[in-house]
Structure formats: structure tokens, C-alpha cells
């Protein structure tokens, strides 16, 4: 099942096995799961050759799947290959990276976009993988969603924040809100170089997938393709 026939030909990875909530850097992560993440990462990087740029947004179709573990692993793999990577939780409605990386409380994406001139770089938290291989990976948590009428697109500091992050890294990877749940992902589409959509093949309704594609087409989203993920990644009960 895919968002459209064109997207179906751009499938970046097969359905991932159970346990994909683990990070590929974790010694306990199953080998087949780590391999699936790497396959998806390499395919996405190849797809971006036709979309020059350094920023990548990863969002789910709806709340039947989640984008955060995929984005976190993409960021880890890019950093392990020597890139300076900034990973951003741009979903303040359902923050996830704070838990995945045990971030300390600090200003997050939501607060930094509300006002221009905030110290964005000072809010980034470096990640130590605890191995002999040092990586340059910094994470910006989601922060407090608070009130943002009309979606994140009206946030005065959004463009400035993303520009600062891009200028201080080789790659910026953002976790977006589900396409059909909030308008934030559509607002971000014009500010990023590529978009990957995740969906659960056994839980995402065909009608929802088609509707998500229509929404993305309306904003000319830089869609690279679709990644099928396991329903096991922190999803609610099947509908």
C-alpha cells in the first residue's frame, strides 16, 4: 500500500521487523533491524541526489505510524559516516526525541520558533554514543507546544531557526507531525529539501494514504518516497 503509484515506485525500504524502536547504535538492536534502517538511510540519501540540499523532513501519514525512530536512526547513521548532524523534534504535540536520547530540559523547537533572535545553537544537546567512534550529532527537543494558532507556519522565528541550523551543520533532519493530524508538516515543506513519509502497511488506511498524497501535492512537497514501517513502533492499537 502506498500513497500513490509514483510513490510506490519510490519505496525506500521494505517493511521493518518488530523492535524498530531501537537505535541502530544500540548493541542490543537486532541485526536485521539495524540493516533495515541502513538500507532506508542509504536509499534516502541516494534519492536526495536529485534534490540537492541538506535538510530532510520525516513525517508519518497519520498516528498509525511514527517518524521519530526512523529520523533518529537516519541522524545517527549520517553522523557515524562523519557528517555534522542536527536532529530536530518538530512535533511538539507528541514529543519523542527527549525520551529517545534522555535530553535534559531546555528550550526546544517550539519556543525557539516563536521569537526571532533566540540562541538556537545554545539549545542543541550533543549526543555521546559511548563508543570509541566520536560523532558530531546534536539534538533539539520539541519544547512546549503552547499556543500556535494556525500552525507553525505563522511562527515568526521558524525560517531564521532553520537557516541557523543549516549553516552550522552538514545535515538537518526533522521529525514532523503526522500529515493528516496537524498542518505543521505542510508548513515545513517549503523550507526543507526533501520529505520522506512513513506508513504502516497493515494499519494505514488506503483512503488516508491517498488523502495524505493529495495534501502534499497541494503544497508541492519535495516528496522523496515512502518508507513502510512496522506497526510495532509505538503505534496505538490497530484500528
More confident residue, 20 or 144: 144
Question: For the residues 131-157, what does the mean pLDDT come to?
Answer: 77
- Kindly report the average pLDDT of the chain as a whole number: 80
Full DSSP string of 22-40: S-TTSTTS-HHHHHHHHHH
Residues in the chain: 239
Question: For the residues 25-47, what does the mean pLDDT come to?
Answer: 83
Checking if the pLDDT of 144 tops 80, the result is no
Note whether 112 and 118 are within 8 A (CB): yes
Predicted confidence at residue 18, as pLDDT, reads 42
Checking if the pLDDT of 227 tops 50, the result is yes
Q: How confident is the model at residue 87 (pLDDT cuts 50, 70, 90)?
A: very high
Checking if the pLDDT of 121 tops 70, the result is yes
The fraction of the chain above a pLDDT of 70, given in percent, is 81
Integer Cα distance of 114 and 116 in angstroms: 7
In what helix (H) or strand (E) does residue 116 lie, and over which residues does it extend? none
Name the pTM for this structure. Answer: 0.86
Predicted confidence at residue 4, as pLDDT, reads 40
Predicted confidence at residue 169, as pLDDT, reads 95
Question: For the residues 124-145, what does the mean pLDDT come to?
Answer: 85
Note whether 199 and 229 are within 8 A (CB): yes
Report the 10 Å Cβ neighbour count for 78: 24
3-state SS assignment for residue 234: coil
Checking if the pLDDT of 20 tops 70, the result is no
Predicted confidence at residue 60, as pLDDT, reads 92
Question: For the residues 207-231, what does the mean pLDDT come to?
Answer: 86
Name 173's bridge partners.
56, 87
3-state SS assignment for residue 122: helix
Checking if the pLDDT of 5 tops 70, the result is no
Checking if the pLDDT of 64 tops 90, the result is no
Phi/psi region, residue 44 (left: phi>0; alpha: psi -120 to 50; beta: rest), is alpha
More confident residue, 70 or 235: 70
Integer Cα distance of 101 and 148 in angstroms: 26
Q: How confident is the model at residue 31 (pLDDT cuts 50, 70, 90)?
A: confident
Task: Report phi then psi at 74, rounded to 5.
Answer: -60, -45
Chain centroid to CA 148: 20
Question: For the residues 188-217, what does the mean pLDDT come to?
Answer: 88
pLDDT tens for 92-117 read 888 889 888 889 888 899 888 887 76
Vertex 216 angle, CA 154 and 221, to 5°: 75
| Block residue for cell numbers 502534499 | 216
Checking if the pLDDT of 10 tops 50, the result is no
Provide the grid cell at 30.
537486532
Checking if the pLDDT of 52 tops 80, the result is no
Note whether 236 and 62 are within 8 A (CB): no
Note whether 145 and 110 are within 8 A (CB): yes
Torsion over CA of 81, 188, 125 and 139, rounded to 10 degrees? Answer: -40
- Looking at 14-28, 104-118, 160-174, 204-218, which range is the least confident one? 14-28
Amino acid at each position: 500500500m502506498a500513497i500513490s503509484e509514483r510513490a510506490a515506485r519510490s519505496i525506500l525500504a521494505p517493511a521493518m521487523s518488530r523492535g524498530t524502536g531501537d537505535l541502530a547504535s544500540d548493541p542490543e538492536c537486532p541485526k536485521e533491524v539495524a540493516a533495515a534502517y541502513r538500507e532506508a538511510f542509504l536509499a534516502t540519501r541516494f534519492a536526495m541526489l536529485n534534490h540537492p540540499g541538506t535538510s530532510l523532513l520525516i513525517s508519518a501519514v497519520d498516528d498509525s505510524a511514527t517518524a521519530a525512530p526512523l529520523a533518529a536512526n537516519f541522524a545517527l547513521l549520517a553522523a557515524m559516516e562523519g557528517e555534522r548532524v542536527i536532529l530536530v523534534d518538530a512535533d511538539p504535540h507528541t514529543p519523542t526525541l527527549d525520551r529517545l536520547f534522555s535530553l535534559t530540559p531546555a528550550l526546544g523547537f517550539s519556543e525557539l520558533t516563536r521569537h526571532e533572535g533566540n540562541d538556537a545553537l545554545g539549545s542543541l544537546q550533543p549526543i555521546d554514543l559511548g563508543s570509541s567512534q566520536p560523532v558530531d550529532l546534536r539534538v533539539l527537543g520539541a519544547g512546549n507546544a503552547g499556543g500556535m494558532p494556525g500552525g507553525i507556519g505563522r511562527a515568526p522565528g521558524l525560517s531564521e531557526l532553520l537557516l541557523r541550523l543549516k549553516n552550522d551543520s552538514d545535515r538537518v533532519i526533522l521529525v514532523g507531525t503526522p500529515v493528516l493530524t496537524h498542518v505543521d508538516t505542510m508548513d515545513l515543506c517549503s523550507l526543507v529539501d526533501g520529505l520522506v513519509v512513513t506508513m504502516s502497511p497493515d494499519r494505514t488506511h488506503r483512503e488516508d494514504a491517498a488523502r495524505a498524497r493529495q495534501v502534499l501535492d497541494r503544497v508541492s512537497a519535495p516528496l522523496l518516497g515512502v518508507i513502510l514501517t512496522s506497526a510495532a513502533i509505538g503505534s496505538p492499537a490497530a484500528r
